[in-house]
Amino acid sequence: MKIPFLILLTFFGLQSFAQKKPNVILICADDLGYGDLSCYGATKLHTPNLDKLAASGIRFTNGHSTSATCTPARYALMTGEYPWRKKGTGILPGDAALIIPTDRKTLPKVFKEAGYQTAIVGKWHLGLGEQVEKNWNGEVKPGPNEVGFGYSFIFPATADRVPTVFLQDHKVVALDKDDPIDVNYKQKIGNEPTGKENPELLKMKSSPGQGHDNTIVNGIGRIGFMTGGKLARWTDEELSFTFLAKAKQFIAEKKQSPFFLYFALTEPHVPRMPATMFKDKSGLGARGDAILQLDWTVGEIMKELQNQGIAQNTMIVFTSDNGPVLDDGYQDGAVTRLNGHTPAGTLRGGKYSALEAGTRVPFIINWPAGIKPAVSDALVSQIDFIQSFAALLQTKVPAGTASDSENQLAAFLGKNKTGRSVYVEQGGALSIIKDNWKYITPEKGPAYAKLVGIETGNLETPQLYDLSKDKEEKHNLADTYPDKVKALAALLAEIKAK
Ligand code: NG6
Ligand code: CA
């Protein structure tokens, strides 16, 4: 007979422990694919820490972000709203303004209002300040602190975009008033070398036709132009160590009160320039090495929770913002040294794609005091975090906000095996999934994105897949079930009109 863990705890007189609000650490990787971890079937790469997290938690086989790129996926995670409802939620440049209204209910606000200490450490990519033109040398706001994080230690956009600096709360870290920072995405500023003009200065070449040839920082050509802030610029090799140190510090400082930490890691997004201890370790080039670094970082967090004595009642949610890409702008061995590794597992597509690998990502929830180890096929999504955590913490999300988010707490805790019945995915095209049937809307444009080497899912006629038997999307059944196509198209139109 199986006795639920919470009842067991009560039986042993540990009721107050069982009822204590858990700490929550949401770890979001950047561009990690469904097949990139050994617990998801990878055989050429070994990720022992994430495997351990999965084995002692719930490993979801049908866990999703909303979108096949970063900004929209993270917008949905924060707000519980489908990003395609709002203009300007595409991949943001490094100087973009904040795209989340500060009066909106967000995931960190749900925690904050329930008495949690909240923090973000890592990649932000949801814009900063009220406008594009901003002074990077003063207080840069509004940003993460204004949308619900009590503490923030971030980089603004992506590792391949300027400004390549950290911001702590509202300030660039290690700012030098005699060397002010300026950023421009329209034209070159200053006299610093660029990847285009001085390729001989690069330690990692950018890929032909994929940009990444503007200002050179740390031997790497970036997207966008930057001057000044020489002391403030990060060293890519220690990016993750820096984030890890800040995350550990927050955990140690806040361990007495419940806390919510959004730990937004940069691996394995480009440029992949891991620390020396991971260089060449995977045998699969820099992308494999970056995944080993990611796994190690997660292991360090798990160790820290043990050391602080709070591992039992800390929930770790691990996921990724979108699917995998090998060549996303730099020649770093990801393609040439792949060695048979399959970043998307058996799925079709990848980052940018409407096919499953665009948004179906690794998804693990571990909470020793609250859930039993399992593998779940429930359809779960990051868009449901806000309503589900509000339910867990017994707080309310006002009507009219987070309106695409569902309370799927039971699925997240392994008590419900189905999860969502209806879900909309965003690649280039929108898709709708209902009861395991997936309809991809007709879309013009190339079926294959050559530069990044990914199937886009674009087809000018409808696509219909039965994911219960064919999550590989090999058999387009649109002609066999025209009524299903019609019904799903109508349902999508209805959701869009909401
Ligand atoms: C693309 C970049 C890619 C990456 C991506 C954002 C080019 C040619 N490609 O536009 O390198 O930065 O944007 O990735 O510029 S994401 O994971 O943040 O969405
Ligand atoms: Ca991403």
pLDDT in tens, 226-239: 999 999 999 999 99
Say how many Å lie between the CA of residue 33 and the centre of ligand 2.
Answer: 10
Tens of pLDDT along the chain (498 residues) come to 445 555 554 454 444 444 589 999 999 999 999 999 999 999 999 999 999 999 999 999 999 999 999 999 999 999 999 999 999 999 999 999 999 999 999 999 999 999 999 999 999 999 999 999 999 999 999 999 999 999 999 999 999 999 999 999 999 999 999 999 999 999 999 999 999 999 999 999 999 999 999 999 999 999 999 999 999 999 999 999 999 999 999 999 999 999 999 999 999 999 999 999 999 999 999 999 999 999 999 999 999 999 999 999 999 999 999 999 999 999 999 999 999 999 999 999 999 999 999 999 999 999 999 999 999 999 999 999 999 999 999 999 999 999 999 999 999 999 999 999 999 999 999 999 999 999 999 999 999 999 999 999 999 999 999 999 999 999 999 999 999 999 999 999 999 999
The total of other beta-carbon atoms located within 10 Å of residue 187's CB is 7
Could you tell me if 80 and 117 lie in one domain? yes
For the whole model, what pTM was predicted?
0.96
Q: Residue 375's domain is classified under what CATH number?
A: 3.40.720.10
Q: Which of 298, 340, 348 has the alpha carbon at shortest distance from 323?
A: 348
Domain annotation covers residue 134: yes
Domain annotation covers residue 95: yes
Query: Which ligand is closest in space to the CA of residue 69?
Result: 1
Could you tell me if 396 and 441 lie in one domain? no
Query: Which ligand is closest in space to the CA of residue 322?
Result: 2
Q: How many domains does the chain have?
A: 2
Could you tell me if 58 and 127 lie in one domain? yes
Domain annotation covers residue 181: no
pLDDT in tens, 60-73: 999 999 999 999 99
CB 387 within 8 A of CB 405: yes
Domain annotation covers residue 65: yes
Say how many Å lie between the CA of residue 287 and the centre of ligand 2.
Answer: 14
Residue 95 belongs to what domain range? 23-174+230-412
pLDDT in tens, 203-250: 999 999 999 999 999 999 999 999 999 999 999 999 999 999 999 999
Q: Residue 475's domain is classified under what CATH number?
A: 3.30.1120.10
Q: For a ligand 1 pocket test, name from 65, 67, 160 the mutation site with the most ligand atoms within 8 angstroms of its C-beta.
A: 160
Among 356, 377, 412, the domain boundary falls at 412
Instruction: Give the C-alpha separation, 316 to 329, whole Å.
Output: 31
Could you tell me if 39 and 150 lie in one domain? yes
Could you tell me if 375 and 280 lie in one domain? yes
Residue 70 beta carbon below 6 angstroms from any ligand 1 atom: yes
Place of tokens 């990077």: 136
Residue 30 beta carbon below 6 angstroms from any ligand 1 atom: yes
Could you tell me if 344 and 387 lie in one domain? yes
Query: Which ligand is closest in space to the CA of residue 270?
Result: 1
